[in-house]
Structure 1
Amino acid sequence: MDRKLLDLLVCPASHQPLHRLDSPQRDALNAAITRGELLRGDGRTETRSLADALASRDGKQVYRIDDGIPVLLVEEALQTAGIDGLAAR
Protein backbone atom coordinates (compact mmCIF):
# COMPACT_ATOMS: atom_id res chain seq x y z
CA MET A 1 0.00 0.00 0.00
CA ASP A 2 1.24 3.44 -0.94
CA ARG A 3 2.51 5.46 2.05
CA LYS A 4 0.79 8.64 0.78
CA LEU A 5 -2.56 6.84 0.71
CA LEU A 6 -2.01 5.44 4.21
CA ASP A 7 -1.32 8.96 5.51
CA LEU A 8 -4.74 10.08 4.21
CA LEU A 9 -6.84 7.22 5.56
CA VAL A 10 -8.77 7.48 8.82
CA CYS A 11 -11.07 5.12 10.68
CA PRO A 12 -14.62 5.74 9.41
CA ALA A 13 -16.04 5.09 12.90
CA SER A 14 -13.68 7.08 15.16
CA HIS A 15 -11.89 9.31 12.60
CA GLN A 16 -8.54 8.30 14.12
CA PRO A 17 -5.51 7.82 11.86
CA LEU A 18 -4.89 4.26 10.71
CA HIS A 19 -1.65 2.30 10.90
CA ARG A 20 -0.64 -0.98 9.31
CA LEU A 21 -0.44 -3.95 11.66
CA ASP A 22 2.94 -5.58 12.09
CA SER A 23 3.43 -9.36 12.06
CA PRO A 24 3.03 -9.96 15.84
CA GLN A 25 -0.16 -7.87 15.92
CA ARG A 26 -1.56 -9.70 12.88
CA ASP A 27 -0.63 -13.07 14.41
CA ALA A 28 -2.47 -12.16 17.63
CA LEU A 29 -5.59 -11.25 15.66
CA ASN A 30 -5.43 -14.39 13.54
CA ALA A 31 -5.15 -16.49 16.70
CA ALA A 32 -8.27 -14.75 18.09
CA ILE A 33 -10.08 -15.37 14.78
CA THR A 34 -9.15 -19.07 14.95
CA ARG A 35 -10.57 -19.23 18.49
CA GLY A 36 -13.80 -17.55 17.30
CA GLU A 37 -13.30 -14.53 19.56
CA LEU A 38 -13.50 -11.62 17.10
CA LEU A 39 -16.72 -9.95 16.12
CA ARG A 40 -17.23 -7.67 13.16
CA GLY A 41 -19.07 -4.37 13.32
CA ASP A 42 -22.24 -6.11 12.12
CA GLY A 43 -22.12 -8.53 15.10
CA ARG A 44 -21.06 -11.59 13.12
CA THR A 45 -18.02 -13.66 14.11
CA GLU A 46 -15.03 -13.19 11.81
CA THR A 47 -13.88 -16.46 10.25
CA ARG A 48 -11.34 -15.32 7.63
CA SER A 49 -7.74 -14.83 8.70
CA LEU A 50 -5.94 -11.59 7.92
CA ALA A 51 -3.09 -11.35 5.45
CA ASP A 52 -2.83 -7.59 5.94
CA ALA A 53 -4.80 -5.02 7.94
CA LEU A 54 -5.04 -1.47 9.22
CA ALA A 55 -5.91 -0.51 12.80
CA SER A 56 -7.18 2.68 14.36
CA ARG A 57 -4.66 4.54 16.52
CA ASP A 58 -6.19 3.10 19.72
CA GLY A 59 -6.35 -0.40 18.18
CA LYS A 60 -10.07 -0.88 18.85
CA GLN A 61 -11.07 -1.27 15.18
CA VAL A 62 -9.18 -3.24 12.55
CA TYR A 63 -9.89 -3.14 8.84
CA ARG A 64 -8.71 -5.88 6.52
CA ILE A 65 -6.78 -5.17 3.33
CA ASP A 66 -7.96 -7.44 0.51
CA ASP A 67 -5.83 -7.59 -2.64
CA GLY A 68 -4.13 -4.33 -1.66
CA ILE A 69 -7.44 -2.50 -1.11
CA PRO A 70 -8.43 -1.38 2.41
CA VAL A 71 -11.99 -2.43 3.28
CA LEU A 72 -13.07 0.60 5.33
CA LEU A 73 -16.62 -0.45 6.09
CA VAL A 74 -17.76 -0.03 9.70
CA GLU A 75 -19.89 -3.19 9.50
CA GLU A 76 -16.83 -5.24 8.48
CA ALA A 77 -14.41 -3.72 11.00
CA LEU A 78 -13.06 -6.16 13.58
CA GLN A 79 -13.92 -5.10 17.12
CA THR A 80 -10.67 -5.70 19.00
CA ALA A 81 -11.15 -3.94 22.36
CA GLY A 82 -10.25 -7.13 24.26
CA ILE A 83 -6.92 -7.69 22.51
CA ASP A 84 -3.87 -5.87 23.86
CA GLY A 85 -1.00 -4.52 21.79
CA LEU A 86 -2.87 -3.25 18.72
CA ALA A 87 -2.55 0.47 19.40
CA ALA A 88 -0.15 2.50 17.27
CA ARG A 89 3.47 2.17 18.34
Structure 2
Amino acid sequence: MASADSLSKLLRCPETRQELRPLDDSKLDELNEAIRAGELHNHAGDEVEQTLDAGLIREDDAVVYPIRDGVPNLLIDDRIPLKDSD
Protein backbone atom coordinates (compact mmCIF):
# COMPACT_ATOMS: atom_id res chain seq x y z
CA MET A 1 0.00 0.00 0.00
CA ALA A 2 1.32 3.48 -0.91
CA SER A 3 2.08 5.96 1.85
CA ALA A 4 0.29 9.32 1.94
CA ASP A 5 3.55 11.06 0.97
CA SER A 6 4.15 8.87 -2.08
CA LEU A 7 0.48 9.15 -3.05
CA SER A 8 0.62 12.96 -2.90
CA LYS A 9 3.51 12.88 -5.38
CA LEU A 10 1.23 11.10 -7.85
CA LEU A 11 -1.58 13.66 -7.67
CA ARG A 12 -1.73 16.07 -10.59
CA CYS A 13 -3.97 18.88 -11.69
CA PRO A 14 -6.56 17.25 -13.97
CA GLU A 15 -6.41 20.21 -16.38
CA THR A 16 -2.70 21.09 -16.66
CA ARG A 17 -1.07 17.93 -15.23
CA GLN A 18 1.06 20.13 -12.95
CA GLU A 19 2.11 18.71 -9.61
CA LEU A 20 -0.01 19.42 -6.55
CA ARG A 21 1.42 19.94 -3.07
CA PRO A 22 -0.21 20.37 0.34
CA LEU A 23 -1.42 23.88 1.11
CA ASP A 24 0.46 25.53 3.98
CA ASP A 25 -1.39 26.43 7.18
CA SER A 26 -1.17 30.20 6.73
CA LYS A 27 -2.72 30.09 3.24
CA LEU A 28 -5.36 27.63 4.49
CA ASP A 29 -6.28 30.05 7.29
CA GLU A 30 -6.46 32.92 4.78
CA LEU A 31 -8.78 30.97 2.48
CA ASN A 32 -11.02 29.87 5.34
CA GLU A 33 -11.32 33.49 6.52
CA ALA A 34 -12.43 34.48 3.01
CA ILE A 35 -14.93 31.60 2.96
CA ARG A 36 -16.43 32.66 6.30
CA ALA A 37 -16.69 36.24 4.97
CA GLY A 38 -18.49 35.02 1.83
CA GLU A 39 -15.73 36.38 -0.40
CA LEU A 40 -14.43 33.21 -2.06
CA HIS A 41 -15.74 31.68 -5.29
CA ASN A 42 -14.74 28.51 -7.10
CA HIS A 43 -13.80 28.17 -10.76
CA ALA A 44 -17.48 27.74 -11.70
CA GLY A 45 -18.27 31.08 -10.04
CA ASP A 46 -20.19 29.60 -7.10
CA GLU A 47 -19.58 30.91 -3.61
CA VAL A 48 -17.50 28.50 -1.52
CA GLU A 49 -19.63 27.96 1.58
CA GLN A 50 -17.83 25.17 3.42
CA THR A 51 -14.41 25.77 4.99
CA LEU A 52 -11.49 23.59 3.95
CA ASP A 53 -9.87 20.94 6.14
CA ALA A 54 -6.81 21.16 3.88
CA GLY A 55 -6.00 21.79 0.25
CA LEU A 56 -3.73 20.91 -2.63
CA ILE A 57 -2.12 23.86 -4.36
CA ARG A 58 -1.03 23.63 -7.97
CA GLU A 59 2.66 24.00 -8.85
CA ASP A 60 2.09 27.47 -10.37
CA ASP A 61 0.30 28.65 -7.17
CA ALA A 62 -2.74 29.62 -9.26
CA VAL A 63 -5.41 27.28 -7.84
CA VAL A 64 -6.26 25.17 -4.80
CA TYR A 65 -8.17 21.91 -4.86
CA PRO A 66 -10.14 21.53 -1.62
CA ILE A 67 -9.76 18.65 0.80
CA ARG A 68 -12.70 17.90 3.08
CA ASP A 69 -13.02 14.91 5.39
CA GLY A 70 -9.63 13.72 4.11
CA VAL A 71 -10.82 13.47 0.51
CA PRO A 72 -9.28 15.68 -2.21
CA ASN A 73 -11.78 17.14 -4.67
CA LEU A 74 -10.05 17.34 -8.06
CA LEU A 75 -13.06 18.55 -10.04
CA ILE A 76 -12.02 21.52 -12.18
CA ASP A 77 -15.19 23.52 -11.45
CA ASP A 78 -14.69 23.11 -7.68
CA ARG A 79 -11.09 24.34 -7.61
CA ILE A 80 -10.45 27.73 -6.04
CA PRO A 81 -8.59 30.29 -8.18
CA LEU A 82 -5.87 32.24 -6.38
CA LYS A 83 -4.88 34.46 -9.30
CA ASP A 84 -6.97 36.64 -11.60
CA SER A 85 -5.61 34.81 -14.65
CA ASP A 86 -7.36 31.52 -13.84
TM-score bracket, normalised by the shorter chain, equals 0.7 to 0.9
Aligned equivalents of 2:61, 2:39: Cα separation in 1: 16
Which consecutive unaligned segments of at least 5 residues does structure 2 have? none
The correspondence for 2:17, drawn from 12, 15, 18, is 15
Greater gyration radius: 2
1:1-89 equivalence runs, <5 A: 2-81=4-83
Superposed structure 1 runs of 4+ greater than 3 Å apart: none
Instruction: Check whether the contact 1:38–1:80 (CA below 8 A) recurs between aligned residues.
Output: no
Give the TM-score of the pair, scaled to structure 2. Answer: 0.84
What's the TM-score, normalizing by structure 1? 0.81
Instruction: Give RMSD over aligned pairs.
Output: 1.6
Measured in 1, the distance between the counterparts of 2:48 and 2:15 equals 18
Deviation digits for residues 19-51 of structure 1 (CA, Å, limit 9, x no counterpart): 101211100111121222221121101111111
Distance in 1 between residues matched to 2:33 and 2:75, nearest whole Å: 22
Distance 1:37 1:14 in 2: 26
Q: C-alpha displacement at 1:76, in angstroms?
A: 0.7
Matched residues, number: 82
- Higher relative contact order structure (alpha carbons within 8 Å, sequence separation ≥ 6): 1
